[in-house]
Amino acid sequence: MGTLGTMATDAEIRIDYDKLRKDRLRKMQEQIKKDKLGALLAFDHDAIRYITSTKLNDWMNNKLARATLVSADQDPILYEAGSAIEAKKKLCPWIADRIFPFTGGAMRGSFPAPVVKAHAKKFAKELKTILTEWGVEKEPLGIDITEIPFILALQEEGLKVVDGQQTILEAQKIKTKEEIDLIEMSIAIDEAAFWEVITHAKPGVTENELNGLMRKRIYELGAEEIQNINVITGNRSYPHPHDASDRMLRMGDMIFIDIVSVFNGYHTCYYQSFVVGPPSQQQLDIYRTTYDWLFDAAKLLKPGVSTADIARQWPEAHTLGLNNEAEAFALELGHGIGITHWAKPVISRWFSIDHPEILEEGMVFALETYSGSGNDAARIEEMFVIEKDGARQLSKFPSKDLISVPTAGNLLPRG
């Protein structure tokens, strides 16, 4: 289980981070070979972390100013930004001799246009030299995300650029024990934050105040990043706005909250719902519908089941009062989760029935459902790992019944 302790120690094995690093790289190299790529060049921060076990903080997340190059037979090279190069050489001995400046950087094109083009050409030539040394310059180079001038520069060098994103996602799809433990620890931290709602939600408290209290608790318990906390209440809850505001709680308001936080690289996506004071019958009905949609699908989870089987448990778009499945996307949903917020498999009536994927042991994903009417709505999301004979629910905050706040005693009779 992932909740033995948040720190690595000399006295207990807990999370074996050295094994985690080696397993992730092994899985990526195996997938590169399976997909017949000569090499893989990744710019996405989550992919760089998966391959190299290095990171920079979130400010760099959308700058396309770091990268890693790896092949099936060659260990990764890290192209790092500025002074972080020397820092990584000290802090990351497993890759210290393979860290170089990222000469292709243009900070999403914000450099002068001639510099953008020149940097792209320079980096493309450097890559061509390395790929030639590796003997794979004539084989496909997989890339996940990058800037157009750089793709053009690679093509000018005669390199064949192909989609590497599918390779990355396939490699990440099946989780190791260490990855599952880290996800479960991340979930446990979120559950402590949900308790802040039970103890603090009352008339006059704003959505943003709850957001801040939850963030404080999550960081106190060791999370490195919070990508999102949606706090949605009362007449803001239907249709779903996916945000938070300065709206004050009032008696009778429903509340639903989503947390996307990160512990040592591993994400959560976790919704829970509450009501301020005693719920109305309509609120109970809405909540029961949301719960049943989720757990009717969850009952099917096991290896060999298709994503189409799961998606069929959810209502069609017109039942939700929407025109098509594209409009209904992300209301009744499943998605993989791990070192990325979204991963394989993604489950939706939009495409899963026509393009099913098969669940496999070791997949970790979230199921989330939503329903609403008038000024009331509920959203529930739980996380599961597929095991040999079924699925184990990783999330443990009680969701069988709608929780009335601020009376924490309502939790006691629930199983």
Q: The CATH number of the domain where 86 resides is what?
A: 3.40.350.10
What whole-number percentage of the chain has pLDDT above 70?
97
Same domain, residue pair 231 and 370 = yes
Please report whether residue 72 resides in a domain. yes
pLDDT at 62: 87
Model confidence band, residue 415 (pLDDT cutoffs 50, 70, 90): very low
Q: Is the Cβ–Cβ distance between 249 and 384 less than 8 Å?
A: no
3-state secondary structure of 357: coil
The whole-number pLDDT of residue 6 equals 86
| Same-domain status, 210 and 285 | yes
Establish if 8 belongs to a structural domain: no
Residue 3 has pLDDT above 80, yes or no: no
Assigned token pair, 384? 């599961």
Alpha helices by DSSP H, listed for 135-220, are 148-156, 165-172, 177-200, 207-220
Q: Report d(CA 166, CA 182) in Å as an integer.
A: 23
Q: Answer yes or no: is pLDDT of 183 > 70.
A: yes
Per-residue pLDDT for 408 more than 70? no
pTM of the model: 0.95
Nearest CA to 47 out of 342, 345, 259, 258 is that of 342
Asked if the structure places residue 343 within a domain, the reply is yes
Does residue 146 sit in the same domain as residue 199? no
User: Would you state the pLDDT for residue 411?
Assistant: 45
What pLDDT, on the 0 to 100 scale, is given for residue 414? 37
Same structural domain, 317 and 189:
yes
What is the pLDDT, as a whole number, of residue 412? 42
Report yes or no on 7 lying in a domain. no
Q: How confident is the model at residue 409 (pLDDT cuts 50, 70, 90)?
A: very low
In angstroms, what is the C-alpha Rg of the chain? Answer: 23
Residues 53 and 116 in one domain: yes
Give residue-wise pLDDT tens across range 275-322: 999 999 999 999 999 999 999 999 999 999 999 999 999 999 999 999
Q: 150, 172, 194: which is the final residue of a domain?
A: 172
Residue 218 and residue 79 share a domain: no
Residue 230 lies in a domain: yes
pLDDT band at 7 (very low <50, low <70, confident <90, very high): confident
Q: What is the DSSP letter of 179?
A: H
Of 121, 137, 172, which residue sits at a domain end?
A: 172
- Are 237 and 359 members of one domain? yes
Q: Is omega for the bond preceding 406 within 30 degrees of 0, making it cis? A: yes
- DSSP letter for 61, please: T
Q: Are residues 323 and 378 in the same domain?
A: yes
Other residues' Cβ atoms within 10 Å of the Cβ of residue 258: 22
The CA distance from 60 to 305, in Å, is 39
In tens, the pLDDT along 63-73 reads 999 999 999 99
Residue 8 has pLDDT above 90, yes or no: no
Would you say residue 11 lies in a domain?
A: no
Structural domain for 37, as ranges: 17-172
Report the distance separating Cα 57 and Cα 272, nearest Å: 28
Is the per-residue pLDDT at 410 higher than 70?
no
The residue from 153, 172, 191 where one domain ends is 172
CA pair distance 111, 21, nearest whole angstrom: 34
CA–CA distance, 302 with 112 (Å, rounded to integer): 53
Confidence of residue 326 (pLDDT cuts 50, 70, 90): very high
Residues 159 and 62 in one domain: yes
- Asked whether residue 287 is assigned to any structural domain, the reply reads yes
**CA atoms of 43 and 65, how far apart (whole Å):** 8
Question: In this structure, what CATH number is given to the domain that contains residue 224?
Answer: 3.90.230.10
Are 383 and 311 found together in one domain?
yes
Does residue 2 lie in a domain region? no
CB 237 within 8 A of CB 375: yes
Do 155 and 184 lie in one domain? The reply is: no
> Judging by DSSP bridges, how do beta strands 77-80 and 99-101 pair with one another?
parallel
Q: Does residue 149 sit in the same domain as residue 286?
A: no
Least trusted range by pLDDT, from 105-114, 167-176, 290-299, 303-312: 105-114
Q: For the chain, how many structural domains are there in total?
A: 2
Judged against a pLDDT cut of 70, whether residue 1 lies above it is answered with no
